[in-house]
Amino acid sequence: MKSLKSMIATNKVIEVEHPELDGFVVNVAYISRDLTKKLLERATTVKYSKTAKGPEETVDNDLFLKLYTAEMIKGWSGLKLSYLPDLLPVDLSDFENVGDEELEYSEENALDLMKNATDFDNWLTSVIKDVKNFNKSS
């Protein structure tokens, strides 16, 4: 008899094109509830609280977002500098010709985008919540 556990694809990464930014493709990893819980545990510290008179858990939200983003976004291509104003407030005055110049993927760029572009964060969250995205035939 097969077990469900042996069939679960834990390292599934898909390419998803942003619905409004032509050619901007993000490599997105599936994040299970178990992995999310582990990331949250890594970002949680327990300290003694004088007001609560006992141990108190504190979540470092910045650390959690950093860990979560690193697990979820595995790369991207096609993020043109000209798309950035559609995602977040930016100052592109230092660039003579934005045109087709792209912002390369890095964990730091991904984290900055997640921190500052609410619509981008919401879109990616909806992508990973829809398990059908991870079961489509390639």
At residue 3, φ and ψ (nearest 5 deg) are -105, 145
- Give the model's pLDDT for residue 2: 87
Each of the 138 residues of the chain gets a pLDDT tens digit; together they read: 889 888 887 789 999 999 999 999 999 999 988 999 999 999 999 888 777 778 888 999 999 999 999 999 999 999 999 999 999 999 988 887 777 889 999 999 999 999 999 999 999 999 999 989 988 765
pTM: 0.84
CA–CA separation, 136 and 128 (whole Å): 13
